[in-house]
Amino acid sequence: MKKFVKICFTTTLIVFALAILTVTIFVASSFVKYSSLALDEQKLASPALAVEIFDSENRPLKQQNSFNHKYAKISSLPDNLKNAFISIEDKSFYKHHGLNYKRIIKAGISNLFSRSLKEGGSTISQQLIKNTHLSAEKTFKRKIKEIVLTKKLEKSHTKDEILECYLNVIYYGNNCYGIENAAEYYFSKPATKLQLDECALLAGMVKSPNKYSPILKQSAAIARRNLVLSQMQKDGYISQEECLKACEKPIILNLQNSDENALNSYSQAALDEACRVLDMPAKDIALNGYKIHTYLDTQKQQYLQNALASQDFDCADNAAIVLDNQRHAITAYQAHSAYKVIDAKRQPGSLIKPIIAYAPALNEDLISPQTQILDEKLVLSEYRPKNVDGKFRGYISAADALAQSVNIPAIKVLSYVGIDKAKAYAMDMGVEFDEQDNSYALALGGMRFGMTIKQLAQCYSTFAGGGKFAEAGFVEYITDPSGKIVYHHKPKVKQVLREDCAYLLTTMLTKSAESGTAKALKDLNIAIAAKTGTVGAGKQNLDAWCAAYTPQEVCVVWTGNLDNSPISIAGGNQPTKCIKNYFSNIQNSPPFIQPPSVVEREIDLISLEDKHKLELATPHTPARFKSLALFSVFNLPKEISQNFVDVEQSSFDVNYNSGFAEVKFLPKRHLTYNFYDGKKLIASVADQNKPQTLQLKISGENLLVRVGFDEKNQKTYQFKLKKEAETQPQSKHWFI
């Protein structure tokens, strides 16, 4: 047994020694291999980077797509700024020669136990090399390159030069590379004017700009800032009094909002998408020389910019997007805000009604455009929804309810489908729900987080594209420096709705553009469908939307404020007028094509009005009592109206006294009632459905009543009248 243990122990030592030898040889050979790597002084002297981005005509975009374009000299920066970074990022910066071996060993042990390369133990010098010369990949080879170049950097540059380059190249979130850009974006001031608390905030952010964002996660940003301040006090850079005073300050941002900020440009949106599909930061895309080819149509982009400029949004944030329905391509995008709009989720308001309620109900064969829905007071447990105007309309067609954006019918339609099934349809169109989104308020856009402008455009593109959904893209393809395509946008198309249902929904939204809440579009000489939405809080509005589409493209416009300050705009106003301005430039737009699975049928208007049912008309139905309606062949009315098949029995209450007959009856709207004194016509009632009382002068002893809907289809009633108000008259009935 002892011999076996000894053999195992010896074997383990040999394996461990061989492993150490192998690693040593690998590291040594790698250092020899990469020892010839040279510093790129141009990148260090001017760390500005740019990504080449092209429009659909392969022309370079003129929109700003560079970063680090502003540079700050170390001599001009506040001492508090430099000290903040040293305290939190690299305390021994001025003591080491580029590498902190204690931190490297500590990180190595941590990586060994986690079986990853999460910890790097990087000094400021190493971070500078990583950000200017290397990609973000986490490999031993990249780490060795980093160490080799860091040693060369330390030999050829002073510590102040290294710190200066570092401060001017690192990322601070929101498209801000470099301290000058960050200071101007977050505080609208040059870096030379930064206060102690602001210096600590920016220094704390660089570890994770998203996690410590002062815009989106202020509590985390404050905690991180205060950690930096406490470290500065511990290191002797500031006094305890200065630390406490700075820690007590709230974060006060003064975000830059100008046309010079590329945060909301098409270029930035395309660059963000490229970062996602290539799974690398923008810096690496620039360093590796990738070229981004987009779907941008410069003419449509100009139309969109002009459309936004044509409206007074009262200083509110605003954005618009145009999506090509066939290619699932974003051909134009423009936004104005101090925040990045393309990623912002906002409450969609009534824009979600077709997505969550009407489209699923059509596809489940639960409704047709002419289906009657009772608009009435509704109580769902503790939820008591209301219409915007506080009124109830009684029975209203689904098409009219959607066109007029009436709330109660939308909630009822969602209840027909069921919340879970309706959400499944919406998710198939790219909608994301929080686990708390489980109430009927969804029918009115009540979501915890909401939807992005791009997600809404994709949903409406599904309606325009015959029920087919696909993720839309800014980027068509990306090439490497040799011209090889490394990414190509190939939309994965999914049939979410039947073609007939998508077309029927389009006819309903066309009505909205003709006479509903989007009627500002009615003068456009093209086929267009639209929906508006307004999100309110009390008596104030927070978001205003309009989405409109033709067979070719979708345009969605939003206005609001991403800081949730109120606006005085509704969806049917500036957003809809903006869309009208955009589509007024579009000529020769084709009509929506009715698929074979959608058919016209004549429905009986009497059944619709009196019974609120969809019943097919008969050949005998007079023209004024029938109307053409569109249906899916899978959801045709199952009943044929009996209103004009036979004349139904009528009841009359007749009293006679001194030559006058009093006749009381309840007429039917579609029947004509003719009253005769012998052969003489003395009264006629038609198109009535309210109780009637007639006083008829009778010269003879008989009152004749003929009831019918035409000359061939009648019933005749004869009343033998007794003189001098005798007992109740007898009635005799027969058919002619």
The per-residue pLDDT for range 22-64, each reduced to its tens digit, is 545 544 554 455 556 767 776 676 556 678 899 999 998 865 5
The verdict on 501 and 613 lying in the same domain is no
Q: Provide Rg for the chain, Cα atoms.
A: 37
The verdict on 547 and 404 lying in the same domain is yes
Contact 82, 192 (CB under 8 A): no
Least confident among 49-58, 264-273, 310-319, 486-495: 49-58
User: pLDDT value at position 338?
Assistant: 82
Whether pLDDT at 204 is above 60: yes
Instruction: Kindly state whether residue 41 falls inside one of the protein's structural domains.
Output: no
Residue-wise pLDDT tens digits, 179-194: 998 998 899 999 999 9
HSE, CB side, 13 Å, CA atoms: give it for residue 75: 0
Whether pLDDT at 137 is above 70: no
Instruction: Kindly state whether residue 286 falls inside one of the protein's structural domains.
Output: no
The verdict on 615 and 729 lying in the same domain is no
Q: CA-to-CA distance for 566 and 585, rounded, in angstroms?
A: 32
CA distances to 607, 644, 671, 686, 706 from 647, in Å:
15, 7, 8, 14, 11
CA dihedral sign of residues 218, 224, 227, 231: negative
Least confident among 110-114, 586-590, 624-628: 110-114
CATH number of the domain at 235, please: 1.10.3810.10
CA distances to 6, 21, 435 from 14, in Å:
12, 10, 55
Instruction: Kindly state whether residue 279 falls inside one of the protein's structural domains.
Output: no
Residue-wise pLDDT tens digits, 447-463: 999 999 999 999 999 99
pLDDT class of 733 with cuts at 50, 70, 90 = very low
Average pLDDT rounded to a whole number, residues 324-348: 94
CA distances to 81, 218, 247 from 179, in Å:
10, 20, 21
CA distances to 88, 156, 373, 379, 509 from 383, in Å:
51, 70, 19, 6, 27
210 or 200, which is more confident: 200
> Judging by DSSP bridges, how do beta strands 52-54 and 291-294 pair with one another?
parallel
Contact 328, 491 (CB under 8 A): yes
Instruction: Kindly state whether residue 278 falls inside one of the protein's structural domains.
Output: no
- Buried residues in 439-452 as b, exposed as e (16+ CB within 10 A): bbebbbbbbeebbb
Query: Last residue of a domain, which of 525, 557, 583?
Result: 583
Whether pLDDT at 736 is above 50: no
Contact 37, 138 (CB under 8 A): no
pLDDT class of 669 with cuts at 50, 70, 90 = confident
Q: CA-to-CA distance for 257 and 253, rounded, in angstroms?
A: 12
Instruction: Kindly state whether residue 442 falls inside one of the protein's structural domains.
Output: yes
CATH number of the domain at 718, please: 2.60.40
For 604, the domain range is 598-632
Q: CA-to-CA distance for 546 and 348, rounded, in angstroms?
A: 10
Q: CA-to-CA distance for 688 and 734, rounded, in angstroms?
A: 24
User: pLDDT value at position 478?
Assistant: 97
Average pLDDT score over the chain: 87
Listed in sequence order, the residues at least 6 apart from 553 whose beta carbon sits closer than 8 Å to its beta carbon are 322, 323, 324, 325, 331, 464
Whether pLDDT at 722 is above 80: no
Residues in the chain: 736
User: pLDDT value at position 111?
Assistant: 46
Q: CA-to-CA distance for 549 and 570, rounded, in angstroms?
A: 19
CA 677 to chain centre: 71
Structure tokens at 278: 């290539």
Residue whose entry in the numeric block shows the structure tokens 């009248």: 721
Instruction: Kindly state whether residue 390 falls inside one of the protein's structural domains.
Output: yes
Helix (H, G, I), strand (E, B) or coil at 418: coil
Structure tokens at 125: 């010098």
Average pLDDT rounded to a whole number, residues 92-102: 79
Structure tokens at 505: 């929904």
User: pLDDT value at position 122?
Assistant: 84
Residue whose entry in the numeric block shows the structure tokens 């915890």: 448
CA distances to 295, 497, 580 from 465, in Å:
18, 10, 21
Residue-wise pLDDT tens digits, 425-453: 999 999 999 999 999 999 999 999 999 99
pLDDT class of 6 with cuts at 50, 70, 90 = low
Whether pLDDT at 121 is above 70: no
User: pLDDT value at position 31?
Assistant: 47
Listed in sequence order, the residues at least 6 apart from 385 whose beta carbon sits closer than 8 Å to its beta carbon are 378, 407, 408, 411, 440, 441, 444
CATH number of the domain at 322, please: 3.40.710.10
User: pLDDT value at position 441?
Assistant: 95
The verdict on 616 and 676 lying in the same domain is no
The verdict on 604 and 512 lying in the same domain is no
User: pLDDT value at position 731?
Assistant: 41
The verdict on 187 and 99 lying in the same domain is yes
User: pLDDT value at position 146?
Assistant: 79
User: pLDDT value at position 727?
Assistant: 39
Instruction: Kindly state whether residue 43 falls inside one of the protein's structural domains.
Output: no
pLDDT class of 288 with cuts at 50, 70, 90 = confident
The verdict on 135 and 213 lying in the same domain is yes
The verdict on 226 and 363 lying in the same domain is no
The verdict on 602 and 578 lying in the same domain is no
The verdict on 74 and 131 lying in the same domain is yes
Whether pLDDT at 583 is above 80: yes
The verdict on 493 and 608 lying in the same domain is no
520 or 4, which is more confident: 520
Which residues are bridge partners to 321 per DSSP? 333, 556
pTM for the model stands at 0.79
Residue-wise pLDDT tens digits, 529-554: 999 999 987 788 999 999 999 999 99
CA distances to 429, 433, 469, 497 from 424, in Å:
9, 10, 13, 12
User: pLDDT value at position 259?
Assistant: 46
* Domains identified in the chain, total number: 5
Residue-wise pLDDT tens digits, 464-514: 999 999 999 999 999 999 999 999 999 999 999 999 999 999 999 999 999
User: pLDDT value at position 133?
Assistant: 77
Instruction: Kindly state whether residue 92 falls inside one of the protein's structural domains.
Output: yes
101 or 204, which is more confident: 204
User: pLDDT value at position 619?
Assistant: 87
Burial zone of 86 (CB within 10 Å; 0-12 exposed, 13-18 middle, 19+ buried): buried
The verdict on 392 and 521 lying in the same domain is yes
Composition of the chain by helix, strand, coil, percent to 5:
40, 20, 40
Whether pLDDT at 18 is above 60: no
